[in-house]
Amino acid sequence: VSSPFFPPNSSWDAAYERELQTFQDIGDTGEVWFGEESMVRIIRWLQKHKVPLDSSVLDIGTGNGVLLVELAKSGYMNLTGIDYSPSAIQLSEKVRDKEGMSNIKLKVEDFLTPSAELSGFDICIDKGTFDAISLDPSDAAGKRQLYVASLGRVLKPEGFFLITSCNWTKEELLNEFREGFEILDELPTPKFCFGGRIGNSVTALVFQRK
């Protein structure tokens, strides 16, 4: 399966290398997966539910780190971003430093094999990383299982998991995260019309760890 949103894993680094070069040349942060409305949607949900500003937040597959910058601008103080691409982390560090958000922590991590210190988060956010793992041609099903297991390790009991996906329906995500998580909320997302049928091109859900 291929997707216009997600290059194969081998080219993630190359994509971020290009964005890193572009940022150094003209200060452009590059692609924001799903666009800005997805970031606004996440932040609005956190604010609506009065999630404390000192809650520990993990951005899984942070990419250029723009979501963390927006969270910091909204007052969130305990922010960590991980990405398995060193080029992505280099880019997000430059974006963070340009914005003067020195309290954002960034590290190279493979979420499928997280380090021991990656634990105890109140909130985990995923915008497209689970999708990218799902498109991996080598054992995608096994990698999805590893992802769910990792999420159970890094997220505190009763912690929130906010996922935005363009590959999975609500029902499919409920099935993927049925072990150890329960759905709390479905966030409104843009709708598309195809062949007279209205559907959602993007699914955004909030789970709570049991």
pLDDT value, residue 159: 98
Once rounded to an integer, what is the mean pLDDT over residues 14-26? 58
Residue 47: pLDDT over 50:
yes
Of the chain, the percentage scoring pLDDT greater than 70 comes to 78
Higher pLDDT, 192 or 82: 82
User: How far is 163 from 38, CA to CA, in rounded Å?
Assistant: 10
pLDDT value, residue 190: 72
pLDDT value, residue 15: 61
Domains of the chain: which residue ranges? 34-209
pLDDT value, residue 177: 98
What's the token pair of residue 61?
Answer: 């597959």
User: How far is 151 from 172, CA to CA, in rounded Å?
Assistant: 17
Higher pLDDT, 41 or 197: 41
pLDDT value, residue 68: 96
Residue 49: pLDDT over 70:
yes
Pairing of the two strands 56-60 and 181-187: unpaired
User: How far is 203 from 16, CA to CA, in rounded Å?
Assistant: 25
pLDDT value, residue 8: 44
Instruction: Read off φ and ψ for residue 90, nearest 5 degrees.
Output: -60, -45
pLDDT value, residue 198: 65
**Amino acid identity, residue 42?**
I
What is the average pLDDT score of the chain? Answer: 85
Q: What CATH superfamily classification does 34-209 receive? A: Vaccinia Virus protein VP39 (3.40.50.150)
User: Which tens digits make up the pLDDT trace of 163-184?
Assistant: 999 889 999 999 999 999 999 9
User: Which tens digits make up the pLDDT trace of 97-153?
Assistant: 999 999 999 999 999 999 999 999 999 999 999 999 988 888 999 999 999 999 999
pLDDT value, residue 180: 96
Q: Which of 13-17, 21-25, 48-52, 199-203 has the lowest mean pLDDT?
A: 21-25
pLDDT value, residue 3: 40
Exposed / middle / buried, residue 181 (Cβ in 10 Å: 0-12, 13-18, 19+): buried
Q: Which of 38-42, 76-80, 188-192 has the lowest mean pLDDT?
A: 188-192
H/E element holding 32? none
Residues 76 and 53: beta-carbon distance below 8 Å: yes
Once rounded to an integer, what is the mean pLDDT over residues 71-96? 95
